[in-house]
Amino acid sequence: MRHRRKRRHSLTHLGLLRLTEYLEGANFAAYVDLLQTPWRLALLNLIGGIFRGLGIGLGFTVIAGLVVLILQQLELLNLPVIGKWIADLVQIVDGQLRARAFTY
């Protein structure tokens, strides 16, 4: 009987050691500390949201600019059907850019 208790105790001890190592590896203490300071958590979320928004905006601008450049190059090829559609689209974008330049 005493042997069983000792074995059960050692298995429980090993389980607790594994759990401790896992929580330390996952930096669980820092997460709990962050949850206990709600203002810091809100500030970190606000800053993260701002940078995500900037990243999305800048990324979309770069991709849209590349698409417009590609469309302008396709316009130079003078493809019959696609060329007219691309020319109209480029004129619309160019008109919007000029209209914004005058407002500043």
51-94: pLDDT as tens digits: 999 999 999 999 999 988 887 787 777 667 776 777 788 888 88
Report pLDDT digits (tens) over 9-42.
676 777 888 877 887 777 777 878 888 888 988 8
Q: Per the structure, how many domains does the chain have? A: 1
Task: Give me the domain span that covers residue 70.
Answer: 10-77
Q: Is 29 among the domain residues? A: yes
Reported as a pLDDT band with limits 50, 70 and 90, residue 104 is low
For helices 28-35 and 2-25, angle between their N-to-C axes, nearest 10 degrees: 70
pLDDT of residue 68: 85
pLDDT of residue 54: 97
Q: Is 67 among the domain residues? A: yes
Q: Is 59 among the domain residues? A: yes
Q: Is 44 among the domain residues? A: yes
